[in-house]
A and B are shown apart, each in its own frame.
Chain A
Amino acid sequence: MRPVSSWGRLDANLHQVVSLRDQADIRDSVLEKEPGIAYGMGRSYGDVCLNPGGLLWSTAGLDHFIAFDEATGVLTCEAGVLLEDIQENFIRRGWTLPVTPGTRQITIGGAIANDVHGKNHHVAGSFGDHVRRIRLFRTDGETIDCAPSEHSGWFSATVGGMGLTGLIVEAELQLKRIDGPWLDTETLAYGNLDEFFALSDASETDWEHTVSWVDGLSGEWGRGIFMRANPVGGERPGPRKVTLSVPFTPPVSLAHPGILRCFNAVYYKFKKYRAGRAVAHNVPFLYPLDNIREWNRAYGPEGFFQYQSVIPRETGKDAVHAMLDEIVRAREGSFLAVLKTFGKRDAVGMMSFPRPGVTLAMDFPNRGARTRALFERLDAIVMQAGGRLYPAKDARMPKSLFEAGYPRLEEFLKYRDSGIASGLSRRLMES
């Protein structure tokens, strides 16, 4: 047994960790044991990848590529392969993953199980839209190959299925042609939410990536920085590679409200001053935190939460307004605050998080009851607006909000593997 945390570092409960080494190993390790859950890179913030006191199947060893078809761009690989590994290998060969989240340090299994989204949701959908086939190993020994047109129920239960339908062993992914690692970027400041929505809508057709940082701390909340980008070809000298790291966990959170408010104001002014067009490498633009290793330690020994919701467009503006209002008044927010619109498309997965609307994600240092009380107020706003929370980021949402946000839950439960359970599944699905 050893202590394992997820990205939020809220706790470090003991787990019996079994490292899966190869496909032959899986059968012995997974078959009819007590319930376990797959653990990729633990980049989820809450308990979706944890099983306190129980079994954890670490997929890090399932990191082999299997095949690549240069003509069609179809890549087959094991479930523990990192997005980073694929991008480093294939971008220089003219291919890219069509969808990546804000970090490349996650596994294919994790990307499928949370049906992750990126800054290009409005053009590319979510990760599951580009998965052609999944090989699923069930704890009763059955192997299921599922695809959008074959065992499609299994496919849409597994995409976004939080690891609960079986162990993903390997997957076939459709890569996309790309001219190189560079992006033509534009940074714009916005003064309020109306301007944000106007910018988002205006950027949807002509820009592949859009995202914004919103100031959720200072009095002038609702202002922010809007960033958009398109891939661009051409050869340029590569970026300097500087990797920083937070070497130890400070005894108290560095996310002190006073410091953060100043920081936000300075960041806003600096970005506004530097606004305009620039060519940037995709890594610092798309994964800005990846070169600061273990930045999650900065929140101190109590860890932190991320609260990410998506709200339908009709109710979106008022709800985001109301949430920011609560957050600013509570003085609980932190620097990381992302506001983005999702495109008008339904996700492949029954339990996928992305849906048409606007998503707000914000980090909160864990200050116990105060933080949780704020979340309850935010929950009420999300519930009333007909929105949902992202299980990949969740450690505490009430069951009622989960059930309201995911109307296909009943249908999904039929596909669950009885030999699999996580902290989250026990909390929100009773087992």
Chain B
Amino acid sequence: MVLIGRDAARLERIAADLKTRGAGSDIRAVTVDFLDPEAIRAVADDVAQTAVDIVFIAHGMLPEQDACQNDLSACREALEVNGVSPVLFAEAFARTMEKNGRGTIALTGSVAGDRGRKSNYVYGSAKGMIERYAQGLQHRFAGTGINVVLVKPGPTDTPMTARLKDTGTRLAPVASVARRIARAIDKGVPVVYAPCRWSVIMWVVRHLPGVIFRKLDI
């Protein structure tokens, strides 16, 4: 297993945790600049020297919508970290996977990517980009041994959402969300909502007529 991140100490902590849990002793940690295409390519090629079976791309950050509206650098950062960077990683691994003809690439979108909302549309548009990208990749690999899985979590209790707790947002426990994601990756499901109920909720949200939707304070 190879953990790719930006902070060596944090990765080592996760590696030690996994080893102690009995996930095997061959766990490597690699740091890279997540916005540097050359570095991403180099990491992917290095990792892919031994055949890669699963790539799980899960990084992201939740910006303040206000900040994105008022500070274009913040807006750009949100778009790049949540949209561009995951695509670069997926693309880098897609090339090496294509050579082997099998494996799974899982990308993390979000329910926020299903429809733009005033409270969170910059983040949402980056996640929407992930969805469109995953769709294209699924098309590209149709009929091959390569699965592309798009994961769409609902609000989940992780460090990213810590500040939402003060507003009373209901957050799903991370363990059950993770379990559902792991199962979807095993099966190669094209799109998975986690928890499951979000597939129904988001179906409704996507299909609400614009006149009604625009009156909602969400």
Task: Give CA–CA (A17, B168) in the complex, Å.
Answer: 13
Q: A22-B10, A89-B21 given as contacts; is B166 within 8 A of A17 (CB)?
A: yes
Query: Does B209 interact with chain A (Cβ within 8 Å)?
Result: no
Chain A positions within 8 Å of B33 at CB level = none
Q: Which residues of A contact B165 (CB under 8 A)?
A: 2, 17, 19
B16 x A89 contact (CB < 8 A) = no
Contact of B166 with A93 in the complex, beta carbons under 8 Å: no
Within B153-178, the residues touching A (CB, 8 Å) are 159, 162, 165-166, 168
B162 to A64, Cβ gap below 8 A?
Answer: no
Q: Verify B21–A65 contact, CB threshold 8 A.
A: yes
B166, A67: Cβ atoms under 8 Å?
A: no
Closest Cβ of chain B to A219, distance in Å, is 44
Q: Is A413 an interface residue (CB 8 A)?
A: no
Shortest Cβ gap from B1 to chain A (Å): 15
Whether A265 is near chain B, meaning CB under 8 Å from some CB there, is no
Q: Count of chain B residues with Cβ under 8 Å from any Cβ of A?
A: 14
Q: A351 CA to B50 CA in the complex, in Å?
A: 55
**A72 to B: closest C-beta gap in Å:** 14
**Contact: B159 with A61, CB < 8 Å?**
yes
What sequence of 0s and 1s flags, for each residue 15-29 of chain B, a beta carbon within 8 Å of any chain A beta carbon? 011001110000000
Contact between chains at A66 and B17 (CB < 8 Å):
yes
Instruction: From the candidates A17, A19, A66, A75, name the one contacting B16 in the complex (CB within 8 A).
Output: A66
Pair B20/A67 contact, Cβ less than 8 Å: yes
A274→B166 CA distance, assembly (Å)? 48
Q: How far is the CA of A77 from the CA of B22 in the complex (A)?
A: 14
Main secondary structure on B side of the interface with A: helix
Cβ-based interface call for A399 (8 A): no
A93 to B22, CA, bound (A): 9
What is the CA–CA distance of A61 and B161 in the complex, to the nearest angstrom? 12
Does B13 sit within 8 A of A, measured CB to CB? yes
- A21 an interface residue at 8 Å Cβ cutoff? yes
Q: Which residues of A contact B159 (CB under 8 A)?
A: 19, 21, 61
Contact of A64 among B16, B22, B166, B168 (CB under 8 A): B16
A24 at the A/B interface (Cβ < 8 Å)?
A: yes
Contacts of A93 in B (CB 8 A): 22
Answer whether residue A1 sits at the interface, using C-beta atoms and an 8 A cutoff. Answer: yes
Q: Is the CB of A64 within 8 A of B9?
A: no
Residue in B16, B162, B166, B168 whose beta carbon sits within 8 Å of that of A65 in the complex:
B16
Beyond A65-B20, A66-B20, A68-B20, whether A19 also contacts B162 by CB under 8 A is: yes
Q: Please tell me if the beta carbons of B10 and A1 are within 8 angstroms of each other in the complex.
A: no
Interface membership of B14, Cβ < 8 A: yes
Interface string of B69-108 (1 = CB under 8 A from A): 0000000000000000000000000000000000000000
User: What is the distance, in angstroms, from B21's C-beta to the closest C-beta of chain A?
Assistant: 6
**Minimum distance in angstroms from A107 CB to a CB of chain B:** 15
Q: Is the CB of B9 within 8 A of A65?
A: no
**In the complex the two chains form, is A65's CB within 8 Å of B17's CB?**
yes
- In the bound complex, CA of A64 to CA of B162 (Å): 18
Complex CA distance for A193 and B159, rounded to whole angstroms: 51
From residue B25, how far is it (CB to closest CB) to chain A in Å? 11
Residues B16 and A24 in contact, CB atoms below 8 Å apart: no
Taking CB atoms, residues of chain B closer than 8 Å to A19 are 159, 162, 165
Rounded to whole angstroms, the CA-CA distance of A4 and B170 in the bound complex is 15
Q: Which residues of A contact B166 (CB under 8 A)?
A: 1-2, 17
Q: Is the CB of B16 within 8 A of A67?
A: yes
Interface string of A53-69 (1 = CB under 8 A from B): 00000000100111110
Complex Cα distance, B14 from A69, in Å, reads 18
In the complex, residue of chain B having the shortest beta-carbon distance to the beta carbon of A88: B21
Find chain A residues with CB under 8 A from B16 CB: 64-67
A61 to B17 Cα, complex, angstroms: 13
> Whole-angstrom distance between the alpha carbons of A283 and B54 in the complex?
35
| B residues in contact with A21, CB < 8 Å | 159, 162
- B13, B20, B159: most-surrounded residue (chain A CB, <10 A): B20
- Inside 8 A of B162's CB, which chain A residues have their CB? 19, 21
A residues in contact with B14, CB < 8 Å: 64
Q: Give the residues in chain A near B168, CB-CB below 8 Å.
A: 2
In chain A between 17 and 44, which residues have their CB closer than 8 angstroms to a CB of chain B? 17, 19, 21-22, 24
Can you identify 13 A-B contacts, CB atoms within 8 angstroms?
A2-B166, A2-B168, A17-B166, A19-B162, A21-B162, A22-B10, A64-B17, A65-B16, A65-B21, A66-B17, A67-B16, A89-B21, A89-B22
* 10 A-B pairs with least C-beta separation: A65-B20, A64-B17, A19-B162, A65-B17, A68-B20, A2-B166, A21-B159, A66-B16, A64-B13, A89-B21
